[in-house]
Structure 1
Amino acid sequence: MAVRRVHFEQAGCPVSRSVDAVGDWWSLLIVRDAFDGVRRLVDFQRSLGVAKNMLSARLRALVANGVMVPVPPADGGFQREYVLTPKGRDLFPVIVALRQWGERHCFVPGEPHTVLVDRADGRPVAQVEVRAESGAVLGPDDTVVMEVS
């Protein structure tokens, strides 16, 4: 029995719509790799170890959702490249927040892992924080979801 995917493009919740657009874990890893400079299908495949048909489907979905765009290859070759659109680049804080959450909760102390650093000085990137317009750091108990009319 096949499981049908539920779509949330009409949902009133921004989280539901976001998950619908890029919530697939392969898609998020493709976006992560794109931030790391990966552009070609063969290089995404090498990095992720995903089947070509599955990768192609995810890339098509990311293109259809306006997250990535296919472009002619920079070296004049035949294999098209995929780059993040401004919409896709807006996922950077999401990817950083997931990375930092993983650093805190998915490794035992002392276990080696990668870390995101500032290219200018090589120092680790500060923790992503949710802030009020005043600049105060907010936690889950400090916020409430409201309907916008």
Structure 2
Amino acid sequence: MGRADLPVVHELEKALFPEDAWSTELLNGELDEQPRTRHYVVAVESDGEIVGYAGLAAAGGQADVQTIGVRADRRRSGVGALLLTELLDEAARRGSEAVFLEVRADNDAARRLYHRFGFDEVGVRRRYYQPANVDAVVMCRQLRERPPMGFNKEAL
């Protein structure tokens, strides 16, 4: 995703998340961190139309899915799965051990997608999404085993 994509992405953002859409300023700030700690992509149809977008933050061995949005008429067509695959691949390229995300507790379709991709529910953030007071389910997918910590007494 580049700055030229922001007008379309922001319109999609407002349509998909009307109560808590990210501002253009926030989206610009995310792109300011690309590629250092961010990776943002768009899904584009053959005619050049943007039908989805996604973003990842990654640093210190951990990655966080910042956002995934798919135009309503393109849901259940594989666009979300392609975007999530790209984010997971990027997290692995950056050496992340795990990928975390928050998803609205009432977004069953997204939760099913994340479960299909191996994410586990690890917590709840009460009333995270405002102003609707909707809980966020925190999910995590391990990408690789953590190296052992401490020492192995058999090796002494």
State the TM-score, normalizing by the size of structure 2.
0.29
Q: Greater relative contact order (Cα 8 A, min sep 6): structure 1 or 2? A: 2
Of Structure 1 and Structure 2, which has the larger fraction of its residues in helix? 1
Of Structure 1 and Structure 2, which has the larger fraction of its residues in strand? 2
State the TM-score, normalizing by the size of structure 1.
0.30
Which of the two has higher C-alpha Rg?
1
